[in-house]
Structures are given as structure tokens and as C-alpha cells.
Structure 1
């Protein structure tokens, strides 16, 4: 069956329709991915006067005193988060919510003064992150990108099939070389060879990206992978989850905890523990680089997190989240990497790889991957443009096989995708319906659709 020309044409037709939808999204994801890789470095370089102190001394304000300093400077704001400085030359950072949005406030602990602030909502990274995840149109964008990621998996499967050579060595050698003839043959080879080299990595990025999506990720995989917080904490919030510690468009809480309810302090008291108490206790428990989330309400907790998601650490095996009673300071819950299920563990490691956090080699690899995806998309578009008739406007989809049994057989390649990803099912059915209904409409539409 797989050697028949009609089956090949059927697979090519599926590949074409999936690519028609996916290409704009892949280009957008690759470009915003590149921005997210380098935006943090750019921001630190442009605002070095905020991120770094002018002079280090032996006398530094306590963290609680710095907290109060920020509260005095922004009396109508709510302090959300504290970042432990990586070294003595870094300013202390606080994440603050104001009436105008979320900002980062920088404090010089030696001079005891607020250095200034930067908008989080208007930052380049937040813009790229929001575009990357929702196309900046909320739930609708999330669903569109979920379909695109699902269809990209279909592209990978059909693309590998179309590339697959016969068993002869000469054919295999030709399949991994780019022709020097030029024209459409050059672009076809460039497209197929680039796709071959990035296929596995692209599949990894699709799966990890889909794990954030609203349907397959939020409703299925993430719900199943969420750590059962009731195993560690007896008193849980009925309204707040760990996701409430995230900012909109900026996720920093471990994926496997987002949907888990937050613990609550067990009893109200007249005096709350200080930020210094939390930092000291976290360090004594083995934390090195981490951030502290402040209580959300009177029964809220202090939460110390060190995770690849928050970019605090590079080794996912050191992922850890600890909740402290805001009054007694007692540890209410302690969840680490080994407590995650296998998929949540994979996400913790995958996120670090996805964000290029394993050092310079990882950053370079992610950069090359994003550029390769852009090249893959551009070469596919150029190849299509060179194939279409130059004398008329037409979509030029690959011809539907005359043997429709083979067209139906091609469904077996997309069936696993439709079973695993619900929105892909809807999109695949839509393609089939449109493709079959076009023949029933006006000749002008049929001519545009035809090869």
C-alpha cells in the first residue's frame, strides 16, 4: 500500500493542508522564541544601573527592611514576590502590583534606597511570551496555537513519510543532500533535509508546548500530572491555586503544581514572620537561588520556589517548592522534583532545555533550532510558489487521488493525532469537509482550490 502513487499523493495532500495552516504560527513561535531567549540579557544590559549596585559594602539592610522601603515608596501597591540576589553586586528585586500594572522594583541594600522600577507588562519578554502562548488574543489564541502544534505533529509524520527513501544506499545518500541544480529541486531538498534534522526536536517542542495549552494541557495532561497537595498539607485553600502566584503572561511556578491548591496558614496570630525568617529557613533547607512569594491574604502562606520554570536554577532535579505558615513559620508543605510524576518531571527538564538554560551550548542550540524552523517554513512556501501555475491565482493543492480508497487510507496516518489531541480532531474533520465540499460550489472557488 505504501508504495502506491495514490497513497503518496494522499499523504502529500494532508501535508500541504496542515502546512497551509501551520506555517504562519511556526514562524511566529520561532521569532518570539528567539526574542524570549535574548530579551533577559538585553534588559539587564540596557538597565545595568538598576540590576546592579554601584558599590558593595559590609553593611546591608535586612530583606524585611527593604520590603518596608518598597512599601513606603509605593504605598498603594501590593508586593507579590522577592528575588534573592544571585551575588553581592546585584540589586534586590521585588515584583509589585500597582494600579497601572505589574512592575519590578530595584533596591540598593547598601545605600538603603530604591533605584527605580521597570514595567513587567510592557517589557519585550512579556510581549513575546504572551504572543508565543496566546497570539495576544487570550483563549482564542491559545486554541488556535493548540491546533497549530497538533498539526505540526501531523506535518512531521507526513513529512518523514514523503522524505523516506527506498532501501538502496544511493537513494538514502541523495535524501540527505541538497541538490545544486537550483530551482524548485533545490528548495525541495533544502526543505526536506532541514525538516529531517529538526524533526525530533520539533516534536519535543510541540509536546512540551501543548502541555501548556488549554485543552490537551490544562484539561487532560496537566490535570492528571498535578501533584496531589493534600498529601503534604492538611489545610488547603478552596479558591486559590499555585497558578495564582503567576503573573498573567509570565509563568514562573512549576508546571506540575500550577493546578494544585495553595496551603493556608493554620491559625491567625498577632505577629507574622519576616521575610528574613523565610530566607534564612529556606537556605537552611538547602535552597541556593530562589524567589519568595508573599501571602495572598490573611490565611496565605510564604512560598519559596526554586525551579527551571522560574529560571532560578538550571538543574531540574533541584526543583523545589516549600510553603511556610505566615504566623508560626512552620513548614506546611515541601514538594520537590522526585515528588512529581513522570510527565511533570519531563516538563521540568524540558522547560530548561526549551528556554536554553543549560548553558551556552543550549542557548546556541535553541537559536539554531529557531532559525532552522524559519528556514523550513520559508523553503516550503518558496517550493509551493514555484510549483503553482504562474499565469493564474490558485491554491495549487496536490491533486486528490482518483483512487479515493487510498485517500481514506491516508487517514490512518492522522488518526493517532486525532485520538491524542482533541482540537486536532476538529481541525482534521474541517479539512475533510472543506476538501469534499469545494467540488460542489462555484467554478471560481474550485479553480482556486485546484492544482
Structure 2
């Protein structure tokens, strides 16, 4: 069955339909991905005068005093978090919500002076991240991208089948041969590039789908969420760790986003909130070096220190850690580290760092080459189809003569697609559209079948 011409045509037709939908999304994801891995580097280079202090003196002013400087400079605004660096030459950086705009505000801790700010909301990174995750269409865009990512897995499976070495050809020959000209050259380029990036593309699909609202939010993320309420005496009924993220920008660990935030015990009479300096000092005693401090939300809120690959604080996922402190007593309420994650959450912590090019120059180069390869793969597929199609026809690959083979291909792919619900939705839509074009619109049949 699997070696027949009709079965090959069936797989080819599915490959075409999936690619027709996926190509624009893959190009968008590759381009925005490149923007996201390079924008932080470019921003630091362009604004080195803000990120770095002019001169390091013996003793910086207290963090509490720096907090007050920012509060005075930005009245009627909300200070959301503090970024703590392990480099004495780095300026202190606060995240401040000013109206509808969130800004990075920089303080020279040695001169006790606010040196400037950069808009996060209006940054290229935030735009690329929002486009990358939702196509700037909210939940609808999230669903569209989830279908595209699920279909990419179908593209990988059908593509590997179609590439599989023919009789008398070695796997190496099939994976390296680029010859001929015209459509033959584009076909070889498409298949060779595709087979070399297939496993990496599958990794990016799985890690990307873990953020999606259906497969990620309803299935694997819910299953992988750490149960904070088991160690915290009180938890919020309305706030989760996701609420600590900036809108459109994820910084909290993936497996904590859906977990409720713990709450502080109500203070005794006259008890005040602990100082920011104490929170940072206690966090460093616990082993934190480069991390974020999230400020309490409401009178029962907690101080949260987090160091994670998701927040770009650290590169080694083994050091992932989130600690919540009672805002009044300073007691540790919850301490969640990498070893507390389940196996999928652990793989996500490592995968995120790889996905975002955080392991140094080699990782940046690898991610760049991969994104360029995905763009080339997408463009070559379109060109190859365009050169193959009949004149004046928007034609799909031919239907198999024996329709049972078409059905066999469906049953072969359906169990895989059922693992990803949005792929199933997409497959059903393709079957319906294909049937309508072939059976209900005779004039289109000539240019489609």
C-alpha cells in the first residue's frame, strides 16, 4: 500500500494542502523569530549609555532609595518589577507602567539619578513577539497559528515520506543531491533543505505549540503546571503567575503561568511591608545572582523573585527558580526550582533557551541559519509548485485514481493529527473545501483537480 503510486499521490496532495496554508505563517514566524533573538542585543548596543553606568564607585545607594527616585520621576504610574544584575557596571532597571505604555526605567545607583527610559510596549521586540504568538489578532490569531504549527508537523511527516530514498539510492545521496535546473533544481533544494531541518523544525513546533491556547493551554501546560497551592497556605482566587507577565511579553516560567499566586498573611497591627533591599539580600543568600523582583499586587500580594530562561535572566535551565516572600514578615511562602518541574516542563525550560538563542554565539548562528532555511524551504516549495502547475491553473497535485488510497492516507495521518486538536479542525476544513471545489463548482474543477 505505502509504495504505490496512488498512495504517493495521496500523501503529496496532503503535503500540498498543508503547505498552502502553512507557508505564509512559517515565513512570518521565521522573520519575527529573527527579530526577537537579535533585538535585545541591538537595543543594548544602541542604548549602552542607559544600560551601563558612567563610573562604578564604592557604594551604591539603597534599592529603596532608587525605587523612590523612580516613583518621584513617574508619578501616578505603577512600578511593576526590578531587574537585578550580577554586573556592578549595569544600571538598575525598573519596569514601570505609565498609562498604557510600559517602560524600562534606568537608574545610576552610584549617582542616585534616573538616567532615562525605553518603551517596552512600542519596541520592535514586543511587536515581533505579539505577531509571532497571535498575528496581532488575539485569540483568533492564536488559533490560526496553532493550526499552522500543527499542519507543519503533517508537512514534516509527509515530506519525509516523499523524500525517502528510492531503490538504489543511499540516504546520504538523497540528503545531499542538488542538481539539474528549473523545477528539478528547486525540488532538490526543497527536499535537501527540508530533510536537514526536519528534526529541528519538529522541536520548534512542539515547543511553540506548548504556548498555544488549545494544545498548550488546555492540555500540556495544565498538566505540567506546578501546584503552588500545595506549599502555600493561601492562594489567590483571581490572580495567577500569568498576571505577572507584561501583556504580550512572557517572562514567568511556562509551567507556573496557570498556577495561582500565593498570598501574604494579613499583617499584625503596625507591621509594614519589608524593604526591597531585604528582598534582594534574602534572594542572594538563597543563591540568586541575576533575577527579577516582582512587586506585590494588593495588600495580600507577595514579593516574587524569579530567575528563568523564559525571562532571559539565566541560560542554564538547571538554575530556574521562583520564590515567593510574605510582604510583611519576609518569610518564604513557596520555593519552586527546576527539580520540582515535571519532565515536560524541564524540557521546555531547556528548549526555551535554545529556541531563543541564549547559549552564546553558536546558538545565535544556529537559530539564524535555521530561520533562513525555513524561509528558503517555504519559498522553494511555492516556486516548485508554480513551475509545475498547468498554464492558467491553480492546480493541486492530481487526485489518486484509486480513491481508497486517498482514504488510506487520511487514516495514516489522522491518529497523529488527533494529538493536536487544531490540526484535526484544519484537516476537516481541507476535506470539505476540496470536495466542494471538485464536486460543486464544475468551472473550477479543471483548474483544481
**TM-score relative to the length of structure 2:** 0.98
- Residues 1:375 and 2:376 aligned together: yes
What residue in structure 2 maps to residue 117 of structure 1? 117
* Aligned-partner Cα distance in 1 for 2:254–2:243: 13
Q: Deviations over 1:214-266 (max 9, x none)?
A: 01100111011100112211111111000000011110000000000000001
* Aligned-partner Cα distance in 1 for 2:3–2:302: 63
Task: Specify the SS of the correspondent of 1:299.
Answer: coil
The 5-angstrom pairing of residues 284-363 of structure 1 reads: 284-363=285-364
What residue in structure 1 maps to residue 205 of structure 2? 206
- Residues 1:44 and 2:44 aligned together: yes
Distance 1:194 1:65, change over 3 A: same
Of 46-55 and 36-45, deviating more is 46-55
What residue in structure 1 maps to residue 234 of structure 2? 235
Q: Deviations over 1:10-33 (max 9, x none)?
A: 000000000000000000000000
What residue in structure 1 maps to residue 67 of structure 2? 67
* Aligned-partner Cα distance in 2 for 1:406–1:171: 27
Task: Specify the SS of the correspondent of 2:293.
Answer: strand
Tell me by how many angstroms 1:389 deviates: 2.2
Alignment: residue pair count: 447
* Aligned-partner Cα distance in 2 for 1:415–1:443: 29
Task: Specify the SS of the correspondent of 1:214.
Answer: coil
Q: Deviations over 1:133-152 (max 9, x none)?
A: 00011101000000000000
* Aligned-partner Cα distance in 2 for 1:132–1:382: 25
What residue in structure 2 maps to residue 9 of structure 1? 9
Task: Specify the SS of the correspondent of 1:95.
Answer: strand
- Residues 1:176 and 2:175 aligned together: yes
Tell me by how many angstroms 1:47 deviates: 1.0
Q: Deviations over 1:164-218 (max 9, x none)?
A: 01353x3534312333321111100100010000000000000000000001100
What residue in structure 1 maps to residue 126 of structure 2? 126
Tell me by how many angstroms 1:441 deviates: 2.5
- Residues 1:420 and 2:419 aligned together: yes
Q: Deviations over 1:385-416 (max 9, x none)?
A: 110123x1x22200111100000000133212
Contact 2:179 2:188 in 1 (8 A): no
Task: Specify the SS of the correspondent of 1:86.
Answer: coil
Of 370-379 and 416-425, deviating more is 416-425
Tell me by how many angstroms 1:436 deviates: 1.5
What residue in structure 1 maps to residue 365 of structure 2? 364
Contact 2:93 2:104 in 1 (8 A): yes
Tell me by how many angstroms 1:51 deviates: 0.9
The 5-angstrom pairing of residues 217-232 of structure 1 reads: 217-232=216-231
Contact 1:268 1:299 in 2 (8 A): no
- Residues 1:260 and 2:259 aligned together: yes
Of 312-321 and 44-53, deviating more is 44-53
Contact 2:232 2:333 in 1 (8 A): yes
Structure 2 segments unaligned to the other structure (5+ residues): none
Aligned alpha-carbon RMSD (Å): 1.1
Spell out structure 1 runs of 4+ moving beyond 3 A.
170-174
Contact 1:302 1:326 in 2 (8 A): yes
The 5-angstrom pairing of residues 390-409 of structure 1 reads: 390=391, 392=392, 394-409=393-408
Contact 2:85 2:289 in 1 (8 A): no
* Aligned-partner Cα distance in 2 for 1:238–1:181: 64
Distance 1:64 1:135, change over 3 A: same
What residue in structure 1 maps to residue 21 of structure 2? 21
What residue in structure 1 maps to residue 145 of structure 2? 145
* Aligned-partner Cα distance in 1 for 2:100–2:408: 56
Task: Specify the SS of the correspondent of 1:81.
Answer: strand
